[in-house]
Amino acid sequence: MNKLLALLAMPVICASAQAQGSLPAALQGKGWRALISDHTTSGWHARDGKPHTWYTASEVRINRAGPHELIEGVGPAGPVMINGRDGRTTDFITDEKFGDMELYLEFLIAAKSNSGVYVGGLYELQILDSFGAATPGVHDCGAIYERWIDGKGVGGTAPLVNASRAPGEWQSFHIWFHAPRFDGSGKKTEDARFLRVELNGTMVQKDISAPGPTRAAMEIPEAPINPLMLQGDHGPVAFRNIYVRRLQ
């Protein structure tokens, strides 16, 4: 093996993938609460009660030694949450439920990886390695994912622009979400809405209706309050700085 091949085979520490220090500017206002607060996965549970391999670490690195890039935790338990050693485990759900909310989180994916943030457990904001995509579509990072009706994908809303960074870099979502409304009989009177979504500080969604659950959503009814779900079975992903507050 020559020197170049040896270097490529080594696990590579991502300089941009260090654990959180000072809070991002978006979190300087009042009312924010951390959803990873004690360096453990407490406050979260696996979908359908299945076994899971989510864990926390102080920081992460990308391991390029195998056929696929993996994300590995480094150091003791810390503020970064990772979806297992092989990047495939069950989805992770908050014990707490939320209504109208402002949500901020940071994520890091490996090359060609895929995940998603299901706001209200039902409406997916797509995470994907979309770096360099010229014309992003409904499957790209920052998209509101399609619904699944009669065995095919329907609808979805592509991001306004491609604001994705390269895999191995920390990225951020800032989401303003309006929960669905119901009358006294339980009939839905207003769809859920993504009032605004920013990917890495760039607006990618503005005032988009979510008429129903997107593909692979939780099997729960639409409701005024529901949990948050992170997709864990589509490839390596890490999360940090997950914060929520009541919609301002």
Q: Quick one: pLDDT at residue 4?
A: 38
Give the whole-angstrom CA distance, residue 216 versus residue 103: 21
Give residue-wise pLDDT tens across range 115-134: 999 999 999 999 999 999 99
To 5 degrees, how large is the angle CA 209–CA 130–CA 61?
A: 120
Question: What's the whole-model pTM score?
Answer: 0.90
150-178 pLDDT per residue, tens = 888 888 999 999 999 999 999 999 999 99
Q: Residue 152: what pLDDT?
A: 86
Q: Tell whether 4 is covered by a domain.
A: no
Q: For 37-87, what is each residue's pLDDT tens digit? A: 889 999 999 999 999 999 999 999 999 877 789 999 999 999 999 999 999
DSSP 226: B
Backbone φ and ψ for 7, nearest 5 degrees, come out as -65, -40
160, part of any domain: yes
Residue 152 belongs to domain with CATH number = 2.60.120.560
Range of the domain at 46: 10-19+27-246
Hunting for tokens 């297992």 — which residue is that?
84
The total domain count for the chain is: 1
Residue 23 has pLDDT above 90, yes or no: no
On whether residue 65 sits in a domain, the answer given is yes
Q: With contact defined as beta carbons under 8 Å apart, do 84 and 237 qualify? A: no
Nearest to 196 by CA among 227, 150, 240, 159: 159
In angstroms, the CA 162 to CA 174 distance is 15
Domain-embedded: residue 232: yes
Which stretch of DSSP H or E encloses residue 7? helix 3-9
How far apart are alpha carbons 219 and 84 in whole angstroms? 24
Percent of the chain whose predicted confidence (pLDDT) is above 70:
91
Number of Cβ within 10 Å of residue 159's Cβ equals 25
Are 54 and 83 a contacting pair, CB within 8 Å?
Answer: yes
Residue 5 lies in a domain: no
